[in-house]
Each structure stands twice: as C-alpha cells, then as structure tokens.
Amino acid sequence: MNSPQKIPLDSGLDDNTQLPDTEGRRLANTRSVQQLARARTLQNALIVVTILSCLVSAISMFGWMSATKRFAQNVRVAFVKMAPNGSTQVEYYEDGAESNRWFQATINKSLMDYVEHRYQEKHGTISYDWGYAMQFMSDPVQKQFVNGFNAAKVAAAFEASQSTGETEATVRAIDHDEIITPDGPKDDDGQRIVHSTIYLRLTKPAADGRVRDVENKILRVVWHFRPKSELNTEMLRANPLGIAITQERMTDDPTPVEATTPAVVPGAPLPAAAPATGAPVAPAAQ
C-alpha cells in the first residue's frame, strides 16, 4: 500500500512538470491560494483594460463625428489684401463671414431708414429725404421713382406750397418672411432675395403741432444685397449693407390705430421727431 504524499501549498510543481492524467486532475483541484489570487487579479485587470479601451474608442468616434459635422457646416473664408509694395495681409472669417454681413439689427435699421425717409414729407427736407431713400432702390425702381412718379417735380411743388400738410412716418415693426442665409431663394439674376413686411404709422400734424390724422400702413418689399461691384462711397453713407429694393407695395393696415398707438390720438401734441442722419442726396430733376 502506497503511503500518502505531502504536497506543498504551491502544489510543488512547476509549469513544465509532466504528470499522468489522473494525477493532473487531482492536482488541478489543489491550486494554492496565491495562484488563484494571481489569476483573479489578471482577470480583473483584463476587464478594466477592456472597458477603458471601449470608452476611449467611443470618445474618439464621437469627436470625429462632431468634427466632421462642424467642418461640413462651417465655411472659413480668407480675404487677402495686397499692398502696392507687394506685402499681403490675410484675414480669416468663420462661417463664410455670415455674422459680419447678415446682421439682422443692421438690416432692420437700414429698412427703417429707407421707409422713414421715403414716406415722410416735410417742408425743407423732402428733397434730402427722397434722395436718401433712392440709395436703397434698385435701378428699375429708382427710374420709376424719378421718371414715372416724377419725384423732383413733386418735391419742388410740395416745398413751394407751405399750406400742404406734413407727414411723419414711423416704423412700428419689421417681419422677414425668409431666414436671411446665403443659401436662400434667388431671383433670375442669381441674387439672394428676401421678402419683408414693414408696419408703419403715418401721422399728419396740424399747424398748431397737434395730431390731425393717424394711419396705419403695411409696406411689403422685396430686396436683395447688391454685388460689391455696384457699391460706391456715396451709397454706403446711407446704405452700408448695399440693400437694393426691387419691389414694394403699400396697403392699409386693418389694425385699429388705438390698438397700436394708444398715446397718439387726434388732438394730442405731436412728439418731436429725431433729426435725420446720413448724407443728403437730392434726386436729379428730369
């Protein structure tokens, strides 16, 4: 009868020891605590490494997707200025310089200037006001205003007749039908067109300075930005964005005057008007 053998805690065997199958199976169940701890530590380390690798891969993929989307949406424009001495200056504009040109507050201010100068009628300034408004008109509209409407003759007759009542024009609100973006609708000439609705109030004061009549009007205009080749210094003084109005149509506003101007009623004192700004450009007589 064989005497039992004493086996150390680490099984007393190295990895190269060859044992019979029955003896190997018996010893497989007698691994030491140290061996089991090392195996579990290695297993846990592999799990942690796998999880970290997955996280790093996910973050990298998200970053690549975000960068690709941002690159597809943003356009970076470089303007190169060349001096006579051969030196150059480069300026970069993100998003195709969109924020530098299509700034809605400036657009609204330009349209307000046009409407108030075009539709107000004051003795001594009507020629200046209409010349200022002409800087916002496209060539066909300007020709119709000068030749068809005969602006110079009408302005001269108004200034000569001091008995003709004056008219104050005030813009109440502006609404654009389209979002003003570079990829918006275009007309036959390839220009970006915008439809805008302007709500204005026409106030006619009496000789004593009190309000004689108040009317609400709606002015619908179609306009676009002029090409740079059509801009000049004289125009930019009044119209810095180069807006060109191609169509306009005025209709009555059904909104009651009392609902929009509760403080301005017939018989009340007329508030002082702000002085006109811009370079005076009188329409040429035809």
Q: Where are the domains of the chain?
A: 19-70, 102-260
Which DSSP symbol is given to 178?
A: S
For the residues 130-139, what does the mean pLDDT come to? Answer: 95
Residue 190 pLDDT: 64
Whether the pLDDT of residue 54 is over 70: the answer is yes
Stretch 94-105: mean pLDDT, rounded? 60
The pLDDT value given to residue 31: 60
Instruction: Determine the 3-state secondary structure of 76 from DSSP.
Output: coil
Report which listed range, 2-16, 87-101, 228-242, is most confident: 228-242
- Global pTM reads 0.56
- State mean pLDDT over 158-162: 87
Residues 246-257: tens digit of each pLDDT: 999 999 998 887
Of 8 and 238, the structure prediction assigns the larger pLDDT to: 238
Q: Please indicate whether residue 102 or residue 86 has the higher confidence score (pLDDT).
A: 86
Contacts of 140 (CB under 8 A, 6+ apart): 246
Write down the CATH superfamily of domain 102-260. VirB8 protein (3.10.450.230)
Which region among 164-168, 178-182, 265-269 has the lowest average model confidence (pLDDT)? 265-269
Q: Give the model's pLDDT for residue 52.
A: 92
Is the pLDDT reported for residue 265 higher than 60?
no
Q: What is the pLDDT confidence band of residue 274, given thresholds at 50, 70 and 90?
A: very low
Question: How much is the average pLDDT of 261-275?
Answer: 44
pLDDT higher than 90, residue 117: yes
Q: Residue-wise over 46-62: b if at least 16 C-beta within 10 A, else e? A: eeeeeeeeeeeeeeeee
Is pLDDT above 70 for 204?
yes
How confident is residue 268, by pLDDT bands cut at 50, 70 and 90?
very low
Position 227 scores a pLDDT of: 86
For residue 270, pLDDT over 50 is answered with no
Mean of pLDDT values over 22-50: 73
Rounded CA gap, 114 and 109, in Å?
9
Distance (Å, whole) CA 51 – CA 226: 58
Residue 178: its pLDDT value, please?
67
Q: How far apart are CA 73 and CA 66, in angstroms?
A: 11
What pLDDT does 51 receive? 93
| Least confident stretch, 6-15, 58-67, 80-89, 134-143 | 6-15
SS3 200: strand
Q: Is the pLDDT of residue 128 over 90?
A: yes
pLDDT digits (tens, 9 = 90+) for 228-247: 888 888 888 899 889 999 99
In 3D, which of 137, 145, 97 has the Cα closest to residue 113?
Answer: 137
